[in-house]
Chain A
Amino acid sequence: MDGPFGIALGLITSADAALMQIIGLSLRVTLTAVLIACVLGLPLGAGLALARFPGRAAVIVMFNALMGLPPVVAGLLVYLLLSRSGPFGDLGLLFTPTAMVIAQTLLILPIVISLTRSVVEDLWVEYREQLRSLGAGRLRAVPTLLWDGRVSLLTGVLAGFGRASAEVGAVLIVGGNIAGHTRTMTTAITLETARGSLGLAVALGIILMALTLTLNALAWGAGQWARGRLG
């Protein structure tokens, strides 16, 4: 039981305080980022699906491209904005969980916007005439289409969650990996592995995998249930 796996299991089964603190912070940061990205991205994506304006194609391509934004670049961008000499330096947010939330929101937002646009655009083709006939204009159609696309949209939101919980570059740059303050599962794995302290790294890896697996199982189950229940 002295190998990294043995130590990892020990840490997990004993609910080690440092381990729990790291998991808690990671979940808090990522879930907050997902929530903000949804609040902004769902209406924006739906609006982009229904609106017609010059340059719309360019905007769509841009958001599609931003889905692949490297986390370190997102981190760098937020770092520049929040660093003491940056435009928002006075807020003193750098190396706080808030800065990590901002960076992760930046990563998730394009995913939520792009997937929402695609889902809503497809639904709009089908619903358009009927909704107009019932008396819903484009603006009023937005919440209707979001609600009717809820099952497909859940997939997009989960993809966003997956991306944010797995990335290390952005939170490392803007959070600084300060123990007990801004240390997340991914930054801790990076640090502990570099230090040769593999037990904690493996424990966090297991937790991270289990989390992803659970979420995807839940999403799949929800999708199956909804298909049977909602048609």
Chain B
Amino acid sequence: MGAGTSRMRGDTISTEGTPMRALRDTGSAILPLRLDSAGFAIDGKPLLSTLTLSIAPGRRLIVMGANGAGKSLFLRLCHGLIEPTSGRRFWADGSTRPDAQAMVFQRPVLLRRSVAANLDYPLKLRGMSRGARRDAVATTLQRFGLEPLADRPARLLSGGEQQRLALARAWAMRPEVLFLDEPCSALDPSATRIIEKMIESFAAEGITIVMTTHDLGQARRLAQDVAFLHRGRLIEHGPAAPFFAGPQAPEARAFLAGDLIW
């Protein structure tokens, strides 16, 4: 593929209004994603409250917080798997759920078919022609060293290989922004390293990363920005370095110190 490394790092807001599904080289059409006091409640019980933030293109945002803080829900809200029950969510292109985004789950669901067929599936959903799909699948297999596994049933891969395939599948969808929900929490250290390398290479291609993790070391390695959630509220959001050096909110300080804050 050889997409440019940092060609589109930084501000690409000027391309707002270009047609959706712009290729990564032409900049982001759908970002920034803005939440305007967005909340999510089930049966009147608020699980996310008054979230207001803007997700800028070309950054790696790590979402942190204790278990139950609403990290996964936050990703689902951004990705469009759930709709805000209060407040609003705006994509820069004005659409409600743009195509140029993807999500990788903690335990990805792979279809009961071959590795190559798993890569092909979402492209088919997007109405890509057979020929274009064949090329895209071949490119993706090659890009991630999955060629030897192409015909293997996806469900029989190891946990690490499955997550690699899930990331490759997400990448093949040409996302401008990729949401990752604890992608390494079920993996051993070496598989985790591989996944982190993949995420870094995605970011280097200009794909915006929004990822949750409860692994502080991983957060430090990957974060450019940090969003800290506590009981469904956004407590802190900003560049990673100052956050790790000394967060403003006492909850965040306690979290980093490993204290129980729930």
Give, as a whole number of angstroms, the nearest-CB distance from A185 to chain B.
36
A133 lies within 8 A of B153 (CB): no
Instruction: Report the separation of the CA atoms of residues A129 and B122 in the bound assembly, to the nearest whole angstrom.
Output: 14
B125 lies within 8 A of A135 (CB): yes
Residue in contact with B105 in the complex, picked from A130, A135, A229, CB distance below 8 Å: A130
* B102 at interface by CB-CB < 8 Å: yes
**Known: A133-B81, A136-B125. Contact between A230 and B112, CB under 8 A?**
yes
Binding site for A on B (CB under 8 A): 76, 79, 81, 99, 102-103, 105, 108-109, 111-113, 121-122, 125-126, 153-156, 169, 173
Contacts of B81 in A (CB 8 A): 129, 132-133
**Known: A229-B153, A231-B156. Contact between A134 and B112, CB under 8 A?**
no
B155 lies within 8 A of A231 (CB): yes
A126 lies within 8 A of B109 (CB): yes
Q: Mark A86-99, 1 if CB is under 8 A from B, else 0.
A: 00000000000000
Give, as a whole number of angstroms, the nearest-CB distance from A201 to chain B.
44
22 sample A-B contacts, Cβ–Cβ < 8 Å, listed by A number: A127-B109, A129-B81, A129-B109, A130-B108, A130-B109, A132-B81, A133-B105, A134-B121, A134-B122, A134-B125, A134-B169, A135-B99, A135-B125, A144-B121, A148-B111, A148-B112, A229-B153, A230-B153, A230-B156, A231-B153, A231-B155, A231-B156
Q: How large is the interface on A (under 10, 10 to 19, 20 to 34, 35 or more residues)?
A: 10 to 19
- Restricting to A114-161, which residues have a CB under 8 Å from any CB of B? 126-127, 129-136, 140, 144, 147-148, 150
Q: Mark A203-231, 1 if CB is under 8 A from B, else 0.
A: 00000000000000000000000000111
Task: Name, among B81, B112, B113, B153, the residue most crowded by chain A CB atoms within 10 Å (CB to CB).
Answer: B112
A231 lies within 8 A of B112 (CB): yes
**Known: A129-B81, A134-B121. Contact between A144 and B111, CB under 8 A?**
yes
Contacts of A231 in B (CB 8 A): 112, 153-156
> Please, which residue of chain B has its CB at the minimum distance from the CB of A131?
B109
Binding site for B on A (CB under 8 A): 126-127, 129-136, 140, 144, 147-148, 150, 229-231
**Known: A129-B81, A230-B112, A231-B112. Contact between A135 and B126, CB under 8 A?**
yes
Give, as a whole number of angstroms, the nearest-CB distance from B230 to chain A.
24
A133 lies within 8 A of B111 (CB): no
> Please, which residue of chain B has its CB at the minimum distance from the CB of A144?
B111
Extra pairs beyond A127-B109, A144-B111 (17, CB < 8 Å): A126-B109, A129-B81, A130-B109, A133-B79, A133-B81, A134-B121, A134-B173, A135-B126, A136-B125, A144-B121, A147-B112, A148-B113, A229-B153, A230-B153, A230-B156, A231-B112, A231-B154
A129 lies within 8 A of B105 (CB): yes
Contacts of B79 in A (CB 8 A): 133
Task: Name, among B103, B109, B173, the residue most crowded by chain A CB atoms within 10 Å (CB to CB).
Answer: B109
Instruction: Report the separation of the CA atoms of residues A230 and B81 in the bound assembly, to the nearest whole angstrom.
Output: 28
Give, as a whole number of angstroms, the nearest-CB distance from B106 to chain A.
11
Contacts of A140 in B (CB 8 A): 125
6 smallest beta-carbon distances between A and B, as pairs: A231-B155, A130-B109, A134-B122, A231-B156, A135-B125, A148-B112
Give, as a whole number of angstroms, the nearest-CB distance from B48 to chain A.
17
> Please, which residue of chain B has its CB at the minimum distance from the CB of A130?
B109
B155 lies within 8 A of A230 (CB): yes
Give, as a whole number of angstroms, the nearest-CB distance from B72 to chain A.
10
Contacts of A150 in B (CB 8 A): 112
Contacts of A230 in B (CB 8 A): 112-113, 153, 155-156
Give, as a whole number of angstroms, the nearest-CB distance from A91 to chain B.
42
> Please, which residue of chain B has its CB at the minimum distance from the CB of A150?
B112
Instruction: Report the separation of the CA atoms of residues A12 and B153 in the bound assembly, to the nearest whole angstrom.
Output: 43
Instruction: Report the separation of the CA atoms of residues A130 and B112 in the bound assembly, to the nearest whole angstrom.
Output: 13
Instruction: Report the separation of the CA atoms of residues A126 and B76 in the bound assembly, to the nearest whole angstrom.
Output: 16
Instruction: Report the separation of the CA atoms of residues A131 and B126 in the bound assembly, to the nearest whole angstrom.
Output: 13
Instruction: Report the separation of the CA atoms of residues A126 and B103 in the bound assembly, to the nearest whole angstrom.
Output: 16
Contacts of A130 in B (CB 8 A): 105, 108-109
Contacts of A129 in B (CB 8 A): 76, 81, 105, 109
Instruction: Report the separation of the CA atoms of residues A127 and B173 in the bound assembly, to the nearest whole angstrom.
Output: 18
Instruction: Report the separation of the CA atoms of residues A134 and B153 in the bound assembly, to the nearest whole angstrom.
Output: 19
